[in-house]
Structure 1
Amino acid sequence: MLFFSHFLQTSRGEFDSSEFEVRRRYQDFLWLKGRLEEAHPTLIIPPLPEKFIVKGMVERFNDDFIETRRKALHKFLNRIADHPTLTFNEDFKVFLTAQAWELSSHKKQGPGLLSRMGQTVRAVASSMRGVKNRPEEFVDMNNFIETFNQKINLIDKISQRIYKEEREYFEEMKEYGPIHILWSASEEDLVDSLKGVAGCIDKCCKATEKRMFGLSETLLPVVHEYVLYSETLMLTEEIGKLEDKVECANNALKADWERWKQNMQNEIKSAFTDMAEENISYYEQCLATWESFLTSQTDLHLEETSEDKS
């Protein structure tokens, strides 16, 4: 059974401490997300990472898997803490502050008033699936989500494929340098050149590893999180069918939608910009490495030519 420790900081006055650490199971996070969805059915609840996150990239229970999911779960908590409404949810406060036995006891309690209201809203939504005259903004919202879902899923697949190919390239390149070192042992006249090539490959290998780390830390988590968001956002069509029966719910969703859309645009733009800068730095570093090697070989050749003439 996996536990995830999270160190959290807050400036909120209702907490007994500004800093604390909690250990929670994945099932605890599922419970929290469920309670938030029940209490706030018209808000966009942050998605949880899958139990087996980014299938194929890391093996379950190894260090990479545990660290990747820990970061994703921590981001989930930060999303809630940064939300103007969700941050004040009572279940969220209990999740952050309660001891393990207190949390277990709290989880056994039935849903509160807000949760029951949330269930009622969802029931009304389900009963009005045949409504045709939905507000136009919800139609636009739903069209945006459908297009966004298709595009972000495609970007996610391509990004993961690029990462996989980059890793395969990196693993092969790691074997390429030592081959030149072994070769230099049997080529007396080429020792310096072959060792120089091996040194360049080693530097490029380290640069590739750094770029892979940037890809796995900067781009992949952001893209994949919004894949999960796009699935969550399908609820907007359901809320849109409520029309004027729950006008306050519509207003809450519209406000949250604008907030989410702005955050999404900023974060995806930042992720791709950071990745572009990483790529530029990577190619500049590799180019400089090989140019330095070629310059040294040219200087060496000129020196040898000059010695032969003298």
Structure 2
Amino acid sequence: MDMNSLSPMMPTSPLSMINQVKFEDEPDLKDLFITVDEPESHVTTLETFITYRVVTKTSRGEFDSSEFEVRRRYQDFLWLKGKLEEAHPTLIIPPLPEKFIVKGMVERFNDDFIETRRKALHTFLNRIADHPTLTFNEDFKVFLTAQAWELSSHKKQGPGLLSKVGQTVRAVAWSVRGVKSRPEEFMDMNDFIETFSQKINLIDKISQRIYKEEREYLDEMKEYAPIHTLWAESEEDLADTLSGVASCLARCCTATERRLSGLPEALLPVVHEYVLYSETLTGVMKRRDQIQAELDSKVEALTCKKADADLLTEEIGKLEDKVECANNALKADWERWRQNMRNDIKSAFSDMAERNVQYYEQCLATWESFLSSQSDFCSKEPCEEDP
């Protein structure tokens, strides 16, 4: 998908985003299956929170058992994401759902919000499980297998607060300083990310608006079947016809509800996930630039002879290796992510297109059958001529 050839101000149709996609069949070698379910509310004197059951089934030898069951809260998922970013700064870590209330949700802990978050957390873990590198991360294994007290103990083994603050200050300094010469392939990658972000955010807004308008249309259409039923009771000559119209409207309402269920179940979550992915990609590029900026600062110090030359030369050698590893990791993960993105978007829009075709065929057949019955009725019962 060549996003650079698209005008950032013009919306892109879903078809044009996926019309050049080709996929190869790969053998199913999955050996790690994760399910997030059974949300449970917890109320303490200090806070109210939700935990989710995480069930893992695996055939991997590095696991002590073939099945594990633990309970995790949202902040545990945040910890895992942070550890993955720390260990693999230039890999594309799957996004988590937003921490706070999502658009359209009034109550933070209502059933719709909890279910939406549960599905997103389930997707998050399975994205990691399917990743060729992240799936073997030790913190990921601990997250899936450790009981609550064990996980708390493991969290305390990380770097101290002062160490984290120091790393953050250095990262911010290198970020502000910037890189002198970002390689051209990463310049192209950054341009793609900016354009992709504009397009996917636009698609997300349009999808949300369509869903809202379709819901309003359905609510209005639901009023017509009862109205025609009441009308039939007061018009003896038109009773059969009006009752038929009411029946058609009721069937069309049922079909519309079935079609609309596909938007929040299939299309909207996929589109919104890639909105969050666009933010993740921006973060990945920043971390890559920070690593390169650190190298640039050491090279500049050596050129100006601001420190011990031998020590700087050794540090530069290590940083050059670090930059090369970071770049190679990002390039490999970038292609994997782009292929998954194309596949996900293609599947989501193809599924919705199929649902729409079935919906319109069903409604068309409903009304054609009704009109046919009315034609047959008129042919058997000649209508009186108007005076």
TM-score over 0.5 for the alignment? yes
TM-aligned CA distance change 1:198 to 1:216, over 3 Å:
same
Q: CA deviation at 1:7?
A: 3.2
CA drift at 1:53: 5.6
Give the CA deviation at 1:5.
Answer: 2.1
Distance 1:63 1:130, change over 3 A: closer
Larger radius of gyration: 2
* 2:372 aligned partner: 295
Q: Please report the RMSD computed on the Cα atoms of aligned residues, expressed in angstroms.
A: 2.5
Distance 1:289 1:255, change over 3 A: same
Question: Which residue number in structure 2 is paired with residue 285 of structure 1?
Answer: 362
For residues 133-188 of structure 1, the C-alpha deviation after alignment (integer angstroms, 9 at most, x for no partner) is 21111000000000000000010011011111111111222222111111111111
Equivalent in the alignment of 2:346: 269
Inter-CA distance 236–31: structure 2 relative to 1 (3 Å threshold) = closer
Report the Cα distance in structure 1 between the residues aligned to 2:60 and 2:101, rounded to whole angstroms. 32
Instruction: Answer yes or no: is the 8 Å Cα contact 2:89–2:284 preserved in 1.
Output: no
Written as runs of structure 1 = structure 2, the 5 A alignment for 1:239-278 is 239-240=288-289, 242-243=291-292, 245=320, 246-278=323-355
Q: CA deviation at 1:104?
A: 1.9
Mapping of residues 200-239 of structure 1, within 5 Å: 200-238=248-286, 239=288
More helix by share: 1
Matched letter for residue 156 of structure 2: K
Choose which of 115, 124, 128 in structure 2 pairs with 1:76: 124
Percent identity of the aligned residues? Answer: 79
From 35, 38, 50, the counterpart of 1:2: 50
CA distance in 2, matches of 1:125, 1:297: 78
Query: Please, which of 110, 115, 121 is the counterpart of residue 158 of structure 2?
Result: 110
Q: Conserved in 1, the CA contact under 8 Å of 2:54 and 2:144? A: no
Aligned residue pairs total 303
| SS of equivalent to 1:45 | coil
Q: Trace 1:73-222 onto structure 2 (pairs within 5 A).
A: 73-111=121-159, 123=171, 126=174, 129-222=177-270
Distance 1:39 1:210 in 2: 44
Q: Tell me what 1:17 maps to.
A: 65
Give the stretch that moved more between structures: 232-241 or 67-76. Answer: 232-241
Instruction: Describe the superposition over 1:225-275 as per-residue Cα deviations: whole angstroms up to 9, x where unpaired.
Output: 000000010134331464583111110111011110111111111111111
TM-score, scaled relative to structure 2? 0.73
Change (3 A) 1:110 1:236: closer
Aligned-residue offset at 1:13: 2.1
Going from structure 1 to structure 2, the CA distance change for 1:289 and 1:17 (only over 3 Å counts) comes to farther
Code of the residue aligned with 2:381 in structure 1: it is: E
Q: Distance in 1 between matches of 2:373 and 2:213?
A: 32
Contact 1:58/1:64 (8 A) holds in 2: no
User: Which runs of 5 or more structure 2 residues have no equivalent in the other structure?
Assistant: 1-48, 293-318
Could you tell me whether the CA contact under 8 Å between 1:5 and 1:21 is conserved in 2?
yes
> Is the contact between residue 171 and residue 290 of structure 2 (CA under 8 Å) also seen in structure 1?
no
Q: Is the 8 A contact 1:141 1:236 kept in 2?
A: no
- Aligned equivalent of 1:67: 115
| Distance of aligned partners of 1:302 and 1:125 in 2 relative to their CA distance in 1, 3 Å threshold | farther
Q: Is the 8 A contact 1:142 1:236 kept in 2?
A: no
Look up the SS of the partner of 2:56 in the other structure.
strand
Measure the CA separation in 1 of the matches of 2:378 and 2:371.
10
Give the residue type in structure 1 aligned to 2:270.
V
The Cα of 1:124 is off from its aligned counterpart by 9.4
- Tell me the distance in 1 between the aligned counterparts of 2:203 and 2:159: 39
In structure 2, the residue corresponding to 1:185 is in which secondary structure?
helix
Question: How far is the alpha carbon of 1:305 from its aligned partner?
Answer: 2.5
1:2 counterpart SS class: strand
